[in-house]
A and B are shown apart, each in its own frame.
Chain A
Amino acid sequence: MKTRDVAALEQTAQRGRWLVLSTVAASKAGHIGGPLSAMDMLVALYFGELNIDPESPGNPGRDRFVLSKGHNAIGLYSVLAMRGYFPETELQTFDKGNSRLQGHPDMLRTPGVDMSAGSLGQGLSAAAGIALAAKLRHRSFHTWVMLGDGECQEGMVWETVVSAPRYGLDNLTAIIDVNGLQQYGWPKGDSDRFDRSEPLGHIDLEAVFKGFGWSVITIDGGDFTDIFRGIDAAKASQGRSGKPSVILSHTIKGAGISFTAGQHKWHNGVATPAQLETAAHELNQPYLRSA
């Protein structure tokens, strides 16, 4: 089932972006920009890397994935659906009540969700606990956790950044989706990429994480070849480096759709029928505009 065929994965990511935009449009509320910036990495992990079995989501030997930036849940659900954890049609229940698909990930409800999230800054810590448990139990799986760049403003993130190297967690990889925007943040400065300030300003994250004792890999998170270079480098350090890894994944918030890309107001939003038509065309998806 795993594939690293770039053309196929790009098609899958386009489908995933469409599922995000159309599902949120149907539910009349939800997040867009983050799920879209994270989509290529999510597709790369779920289709090209993770040792998982949708038929057996609780398999104790599976790789773990924690979506710390839990408000990107619809992005994760779209990928889980395409990967076969539940039917794509179930996405229509998102946020509708009595649904397995909550606004933020709920590990007790949704097959394939390894940790609940939603209050920002907590997932890295939980993932460190999972990775530590794996060491104590002599299990060889890898634990991946995705954070937002805005999320790194939460102090709790840094409690874990400081402490994780002490435990030799080379079976842990943090992915920071550096998509360049947060919900509101600060006004745009001269060197900012998009219409508001970069969430972390221009902090040298490579130097910061190296200073804290992490292995650092910087990639273009919109390029599957580069994504797999980063994934493989992180995996290669397991059992060798004695250090946790961080992938600084540079992306574009709202990536893949012309009117959402780099627009902070598309942190969340509901596409109009005309916008859905535009997006469907750009993403090569069938869309019948209702009368």
Chain B
Amino acid sequence: MASMRDAWAATLISLANDDDRVVVLDGDLASSTKAALFADAYPDRFIEVGIAEQNIVGMAAGLTTLGFHPWLSSFGVFFSQRALDQVRMLVSQTKASVKIGASYAGLLNGSSGKTHQDIEDLAVMRAMPNMTVLVPADATETGAAVRWAADSDGPVYLRLARDSEQDVFDGTYDFRIGEPRLVRSGDDVTLISTGIQTARVLAAAELLRDRGCDATVIHLATLKPLDEAALLALLGGETHVFTVEEHSVIGGLGGLVSELVASRLPGTRVTRIGLADSWSESAPNDFLLEKYGLSPKRVAEQVLAAARVPGPPLVARYERGLFDPDAALQATASRSIGNSGLPRMRP
């Protein structure tokens, strides 16, 4: 399991030799985003801008006017929130070929907490005219998305997770912009996911299977532009669709699917699984996923409840009796919390 950020940097390094449009602008986070690997390989095409995200976006817009396709390196939240006006005015409005490498996006950012959690970005970026919004699932898809974006004209927001999950795609993967992808077929429920969450949704589908609920899982690596006809074809006559995302339930994947279904599939119900309209906190990944409803088990529970599947409470094989988020939270009151204090829960 390579990480998305490693794949991002490695792909840019491999592209740079034959594509002189590739330059990287960093906001003093290259060692985190892995842009430092690019800096080592191409020091003359790595531009350290410092802790000044607005200036990064502005300079990138200027660079595009001479044909560069600059890639930006920082945490996603600093582009989608701090430099939002610059992205809106200088990139979205002008159709500038700025490629935003939104690293550490989503809920999981190495315990940095809510200040650094980029969990409204998909809602924001979807609303930007001319913006392409890419949300790959794993390192393989990240590499393919970077190759596509590097060669495309116009703005791209590329959402990258800090930590890896199970790989979803293998080396034969072929990225096609806008394409919804069927990653699991089942007859009972339909789950739509995006980004790194797709791996956890596939794990949730295995838990659901144990309960006799066979899930279809559709992965969207492109939130915009989306091949809506292709997604509608995959949904077929489904009467209840679930969306799952490591993002606010407002305006992201859930918003996208709800908008589509409301206009094109009247009568179909959408259940949005994601982060509630509230603030999160600093904690290890597994704690956050469990508490905020994005772990495989919690996703499966929410699907079973919404789909009214009868039966006893769900207990995943791999975690039986090991983890209680409420108890863990209580425990933090009396001792400092760290990765070692919590069991790993990956299947």
Contact = CB atoms under 8 A, between A and B. Distances in A.
A127 interface: yes
Contact of A160 (B55, B68, B90): B55
A132 B54 contact: no
Interface stretch (B57-65, B182-190, B283-291, B339-347): B57-65
B89 A115 contact: no
Tell me if A's interface is mostly helix, strand, loop or mixed. helix
Interface stretch (B45-53, B250-258, B271-279): B45-53
A124 B55 CA distance: 9
A125 B50 contact: no
Nearest to B70: A129
Interface in B28-82: 45, 47, 49-50, 52, 54-55, 57-68
Interface in A84-107: 106-107
A8 interface: no
B58 A132 contact: no
A130 B55 contact: no
Given A115-B62, A126-B62, A163-B52, 10 more contacts: A108-B93, A117-B89, A119-B86, A122-B58, A126-B59, A127-B62, A131-B62, A136-B68, A139-B66, A159-B54
Interface of A: 60, 64, 106-108, 114-119, 121-134, 136-137, 139, 155-156, 159-160, 162-163, 167
Contacts of B88: 119
A175 to B, nearest CB: 17
B65 A133 contact: yes
B52 A129 contact: no
Contact of A129 (B45, B58, B93): B58
Interface string B76-102: 000000000110111001110000000
Given A139-B66, A163-B50, A129 B86 contact: no
Contacts of B204: none
A118 B85 CA distance: 11
B85 A136 contact: no
Given A128-B58, A162-B52, A163-B50, A156 B65 contact: no
A110 B95 CA distance: 15
A128 B57 CA distance: 11
B86 A156 contact: yes
10 contacts: A106-B93, A119-B85, A119-B89, A121-B54, A122-B58, A125-B57, A126-B58, A128-B58, A132-B59, A133-B68
Nearest to B89: A119
Interface centre among B58, B60, B67, B89 (most CB of A within 10 A): B58
B94 A129 contact: no
Given A108-B94, A114-B65, A133-B66, A156 B23 contact: no
Contacts of A125: 54-55, 57-59, 61-62, 86
Nearest 6 Cβ contacts at the A-B interface: A129-B62, A125-B58, A129-B59, A159-B52, A133-B66, A159-B55
A117 B58 CA distance: 11
A163 B49 contact: yes
B332 to A, nearest CB: 37
Contacts of B66: 60, 130, 133-134, 136-137, 139
Q: Which of A60, A128, A132 has the most CB of B within 10 A?
A: A132
Q: In the complex, which of the residues A114, A128, A163 has the most CB atoms of chain B within 10 Å of its own CB atom?
A: A163
Nearest to A116: B94
Contacts of A162: 50, 52
Contacts of B63: 129-130, 132-133, 136
A129 B60 contact: yes
B62 A133 contact: yes
Contacts of A118: 89
Contacts of B57: 125
B62 A130 contact: yes
Contacts of A159: 50, 52, 54-55
A144 to B, nearest CB: 13
Contacts of A114: 65
A132 B54 CA distance: 16
B61 A126 contact: yes
A44 to B, nearest CB: 23
A19 B68 CA distance: 37
A128 B85 contact: no
